């Protein structure tokens, strides 16, 4: 029984400073949370930028040929190519 009360007292003693510190500086805690969130967003943005700059290679079959050609472009370039193709098809349907 005394070991249990000693353990409870140790837990309360150890937890009290942490709880008191969190209540004492809520502004500092929120600033830390904002900084951590900003850092995380910056990190995610950097990773996305790196992924966009990575080359993606595809094998494209040429019309009228059995041979394919390897074409490498970034994600942004592939997206622009896809949009251009879609626009061309859309424009040809209007005529």
Say what the pLDDT of residue 71 is: 95
Place of tokens 């910056």: 42
Say if residue 77 is exposed, middle or buried (CB neighbours under 10 Å; 0-12, 13-18, 19+).
Answer: middle
pLDDT, tens only, 38-91: 888 888 888 877 777 889 999 999 889 889 999 999 988 999 999 999 999 988
Q: Helix H segments across 1-95? A: 2-24, 26-53, 75-94
pLDDT, tens only, 13-33: 565 555 555 555 666 668 888
Does residue 7 register a pLDDT over 80?
no
Rounded CA gap, 59 and 80, in Å? 18
Say what the pLDDT of residue 40 is: 85
- Angle 23-24-29 from CA coordinates, rounded to 5°: 75
Rounded CA gap, 57 and 66, in Å? 19
65 is written with which tokens?
Answer: 């040929």
């Amino acid at each position: 029984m005394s070991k249990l009360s000693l353990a409870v007292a140790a837990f309360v003693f150890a937890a009290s400073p942490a709880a008191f510190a969190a209540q004492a500086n809520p502004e500092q805690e929120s600033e830390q949370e904002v900084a951590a969130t900003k850092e995380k967003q910056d990190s995610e943005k950097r990773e996305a930028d790196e992924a966009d700059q990575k080359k993606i290679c595809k094998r494209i079959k040429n019309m009228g040929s059995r041979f394919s050609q390897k074409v490498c472009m970034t994600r942004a370039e592939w997206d622009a190519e896809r949009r251009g193709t879609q626009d061309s098809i859309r424009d040809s349907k209007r005529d």
